[in-house]
Amino acid sequence: MLTLIKKPTAEVLSNAAELLRQGQPVAIPTETVYGLAASAYDIDACRRVFEIKGRPQDNPLIVHISDLNMLYGFTKEVPPLALTLAERFWSGPLTMIFKRKDIIPAGVCGGLDTVAVRMPDCDPVRQLIRLCGFPLAAPSANLSGSPSPTTARHVYDDLNGKIPLIIDGGECRAGVESTVICFTGEKGVRILRPGAVTAEMLGEYAEVEWDENVFKQPEKDARVISPGMKYKHYSPKAEIIIVKAQSVQALAEYLNARRGEGVYAVLYGDEEGIDLPRIDYGVTPTERAHNLFAALRKTDELGARTAYVRCPETDGIGAAVYNRLLRAAAFRVVEL
Ligand code: TXA
Ligand code: MG
C-alpha cells in the first residue's frame, strides 16, 4: 500500500473522512503525539489499528471527540467534576475515563466497561471528527513498544506501507501523550499517566492522587487499572540508562569513564565537560517533553548501543518525561 503524507487541506480532510468511513485507519496529528485513528464505533477498523501497531488486545484505545455533546452519545455517567475539568482543560491533553455505553464495542476498550476520552487541541483533527460524525479511537501512531511519533516522518518510519494516509500537522506541540485520569469520588482523581496537564494544574480543581504504578514497574501479572502500564514502552534499540546526578561534575565524571563505541549521552544541552557524543533534549522541562521521543529515536538513527540519559526534573511536566523515560530504560536508574 502506498502511504501518502498530506497537509490538512479541506480536500485532504474530506478524503480522510471517506477512508475512515470505509474502515481504513488514518494517521492524525494532535497537540501531544500523532495518533492512528479509526471509527470508535467500528470494531473491525479498530482491530486493524491493533494489528498494524502490533498492540496487545487488552490495551484499550483513547476515544477522541470534537465537541462536548459527542461525549453523551457513548458514556453512561458524566460526573460534575468531569464537566469542570472539561471546561478548564478541553480542548487539550487531558484524557478522562468514563463508563462506556455498548455503542463503543468492548474490544475498542480492551474488554473493560470503561472508555477513555479526550478532545484534542488540534483544529484539523476536530474538523475531521465533525466531518466523520463519529468519535475517533486513536492510540499513538507508532509500532507498539517504540517511541511515540511527534512528526509525520516518525509515523512514516514506523507505518510506511501499512496505512493509506498520514495527515501532516507539523511537529506536535507538547511531545508527550495526554494525562490520563480516572475519578475516585466526587472530588477526587487518580493520575494513571502523567502528561502536559500536570498534577499541580489538576490540584486546583480536585484532590489528586497518583496511581502506584506511575513511577515503578508493576508486579508481574498484577492487575493494573490502565493496561498500558504493564507493557514495555517507548524503547529504542539502544539500552537506555537514566543517570541521576547531584551535580554536573559528578555526571561528567561518571559519563566520561564510560566512553566507548556506540555510547551516547542524552543531556539537557547546557552541560560542560562531557566528552561523549551527545544528543541534547532541552534545557527547560517543556523543551525536554517536546524533544524526548525525537531524542530516543535519534539514538537508533545514530546506531547507539547504550545511551545514558540525564534524569529530568520529576515535578510539573517533568513527571511525564520521567514516566516515559523509566519505561524506555526498563526502569534502569543509576544514582550518583
Ligand atoms: O495524547 C494521547 O493520549 C495520544 C494521542 C494520539 O491522543 N494517544 C495515546 O494513546 O497516547 P495510547 O494508546 O498510546 O495510550 C493510551 C493509554 C494507555 O496507557 C491505556 O492503557 C490507557 O490510555 N487507557 C485507555 N483506555 C483506558 C481505560 N478505559 N481505562 C484505563 N486506561 C485506559
Ligand atoms: Mg502509545
Average pLDDT for the chain: 96
d(CA 204, CA 200): 7
Confidence of residue 231 (pLDDT cuts 50, 70, 90): low
Pocket probe mutation, ligand 1, options 75, 177, 224, max atoms within 8 Å of Cβ: 177
CB 32 less than 6 A from any atom of ligand 1 = yes
Nearest ligand 1 atom, CA 112 = 29
pLDDT tops 90 at residue 232 = no
pLDDT tops 90 at residue 223 = no
Confidence of residue 224 (pLDDT cuts 50, 70, 90): confident
Q: What is the pTM of this model?
A: 0.96
Ligand 2 center–CA 323 separation, angstroms: 13
Encode pLDDT of 74-133 as tens digits.
Answer: 999 999 999 999 999 999 999 999 999 999 999 999 999 999 999 999 999 999 999 999
3-state SS track over the chain? CCCEEECCCHHHHHHHHHHHHCCCCEEECCCCCCEEEEECCCHHHHHHHHHHHCCCCCCCCEEECCCHHHHCCCECCCCHHHHHHHHHHCCCCEEEEEEECCCCCHHHHCCCCEEEEECCCCHHHHHHHHHHCCCEECCECCCCCCCCCCCHHHHHHHHCCCCCEEECCCCCCCCCCCEEEEECCCCEEEEEECCCCCHHHHCCCCEEEECCCCCCCCCCCCCCCCHHHHCCCCCCCCEEEEEECCCHHHHHHHHHCCCCCCEEEEECCCCCCCCCCEEECCCCHHHHHHHHHHHHHHHHHCCCCEEEEECCCCCCCHHHHHHHHHHHCCCCEEEC
- For cell 511525564, the residue is 320
User: What is the reported pLDDT for 219?
Assistant: 79
CB 115 less than 6 A from any atom of ligand 1 = yes
Q: Which ligand is nearest to the CA of 139?
A: 1
pLDDT-wise least confident of 204-208, 229-233, 276-280: 229-233
Domains identified in the chain and CATH numbers: 4-228 (3.90.870.10), 239-335 (3.40.50.11030)
Ligand 2 center–CA 67 separation, angstroms: 23
pLDDT tops 70 at residue 281 = yes
- For cell 469520588, the residue is 185
Confidence of residue 59 (pLDDT cuts 50, 70, 90): very high
- CA–CA distance from 328 to each of 15, 71, 176 (Å)? 36, 33, 13
- Which among 22, 20, 59, 21 has a CA at the least distance from the CA of 36? 20
Encode pLDDT of 5-49 as tens digits.
Answer: 999 999 999 999 999 999 999 999 999 999 999 999 999 999 999
Confidence of residue 226 (pLDDT cuts 50, 70, 90): confident
Ligand 2 center–CA 223 separation, angstroms: 19
Ion ligand 2: residues, CB within 5 A, are 140
- CA–CA distance from 260 to each of 192, 263, 267, 275 (Å)? 38, 5, 17, 11
pLDDT tops 80 at residue 156 = yes
Share of the chain above pLDDT 90, in %: 93
Read off the pLDDT of each residue in 203-224 and give the average, rounded to a whole number. Answer: 88
Q: Which ligand is nearest to the CA of 32?
A: 1
pLDDT tops 70 at residue 274 = yes
Read off the pLDDT of each residue in 261-284 and give the average, rounded to a whole number. Answer: 97
- Kindly list the strands in the beta sheet with 165-167, ordered across the sheet, starting from the edge strand earlier in the chain: 4-6, 165-167, 26-28, 35-39, 136-137, 62-64, 114-118, 94-99, 179-183, 188-193, 207-210
Q: Which ligand is nearest to the CA of 214?
A: 1
Type of residue numbered 91: S
